[in-house]
Structure 1
């Protein structure tokens, strides 16, 4: 299975059309069609179903697409790493991030380094702890920023200097907006939105076994989408402070939980990880600064 053929396969899957994929790839359609026929023969599985609207992936095709995207991302990252070995002015660094205002510390470190290493290029991807650690374990990320204590058998880490405080994001015309702090009984019966991870890892630290009494009407993994649902009146979101626009022009407001619930954030990387020069420089600056 050749890398080139996997790139062909991914482009066809994205376009849903052999002719358009051939144009993008600058190869002839018969050549592309033969490559896919050979790939199906090699795997012993049919990858595409032809329909009136174009080409759809079979179940086997969808599995290959997921695997191929990971493989190609790893190949591209490896190529970038080798290209960066002799580049003392910069290179690419991949960072997976949870959502938090403390990401400002990463921005400050990178801003400082870019003055000395102008070709430093950073690539941020957002996700929960499970998502970013999976990508870190696969070697697709150099660092991850997570909101759970790291597994010390797998990772080294730096603790970010502040904590994220939990509270409730709501509309300003909500009855709870008149309160300064939100206690557990305030939330009973209300439609609540939170991340699936926080429902397991964080909210029970605040209310213990009573978490089962909360009316969780929906879960999210990215803050912004949840805030839109709150703005549209679908519920109240349990989340970190400083993520939403709660200025005078906003329809939203934030009220902290009582008792206070806080979460630490950690920059992690794999034990015994071999870094590119620019990633090592960034790590050293993280250690010196944070």
Structure 2
């Protein structure tokens, strides 16, 4: 079957409108309608309900259509990956590096690794999908992303292969001119932490709850945030000390901020680079993994 039918079906679903999809695809509406009928005949099921006379979206996926849409996305992603792999076999590294991760984890990747990788491989383009773990999983399964970055404890190894892991530690982030200004910032104890107003990321809450060193009831948690970037913003205001998980090379882009590792948690947690189970990485994705390993 002509794979353009799959691409056109995806566009039809994403626009939700036969006329708009035809305009985007530069084909006539009857031609697009004919393709849809062919697909439904080929697979023996109605894929889309068309509701006439409604403004905006006038298409609704059937249960069979939902399955077909998901598989069509995967097939088109495989087609793109295959094309890129063949094109790159005896040529320079080029194509699109597609990564799904949380917003907090994307920041150090963009700051420290992607610019250097882009300088080395200027023909590579980037797509970064940011969201919660459920979004990372969906982007990988749907084929929108090839690599995912996640807390290793949240990775379903029945669905995903782990390509690379990196230790994360619990760090205290604070303003040098607000907290502990009367001493050197070499070490911090839990007694120090318990006396301070805190901003905690979701990751740090999980680390604390799984430890035997303290519990949440003993801490003055002024703010608990989904992302560590938001927790750090609280600390940058001088209102709190932020506790967040980070790897050793992550940077803090605040001139007045200090960062001290709490060694009690060292090595207990890792972030993982993952891909769909059994997926053969494209050359550009494999090159990035090798590039990242060389840095860490």
**TM norm. shorter chain > 0.5:** yes
Q: Extract unaligned runs of 5+ from structure 2.
A: 174-194, 245-261
Q: Tell me the SS of whatever aligns to 1:30.
A: helix
Q: Residues 17 and 123 from structure 1, CA distance in 2 versus in 1: closer, same or farther, beyond 3 angstroms?
A: closer
Matched, 1:49 2:50: yes
Aligned-residue offset at 1:112:
2.3
Partner of 1:285: 291
| Structure 1, gaps ≥5 residues long | 168-178, 184-192, 214-234
CA distance in 1: counterparts of 2:108 and 2:125, whole angstroms? 17
| Distance 1:181-1:278 versus aligned 2 partners, 3 A rule | same
Cα distance in structure 2, aligned partners of 1:77 and 1:69: 12
Distance across 1 between alignment mates of 2:172 and 2:269: 8
The aligned residue for residue 217 of structure 1 is none
User: 1: CA distance between counterparts of 2:242 and 2:3?
Assistant: 51
Equivalent pair of 2:235/2:242 in contact (CA under 8 Å): no
Q: Deviations over 1:187-240 (max 9, x none)?
A: xxxxxx987x998x65642699x99x9xxxxxxxxxxxxxxxxxxxxx953445
From 149, 159, 166, the counterpart of 1:159:
166
Q: Distance between the aligned counterparts of 1:268 and 1:52, measured in 2? A: 45
Taking the aligned partners of 1:151 and 1:32, their CA distance within structure 2 comes to: 39
Report the counterpart of residue 64 of structure 1 in structure 2: 68
Partners of 1:65 and 1:82 lie apart in 2 by 26
Partner of 2:115: 111
Aligned residues: 243
Larger mean CA deviation between 136-145 and 84-93 belongs to 136-145
| TM-score (norm: length of structure 2) | 0.61
User: Structure 2 vs 1, CA of residues 202 and 87 (structure 1 numbering), >3 Å: closer, same or farther?
Assistant: same
Q: Output the aligned Cα RMSD.
A: 4.4
> Residues 273 and 84 from structure 1, CA distance in 2 versus in 1: closer, same or farther, beyond 3 angstroms?
same
Tell me the TM-score normalised to structure 1 length.
0.62
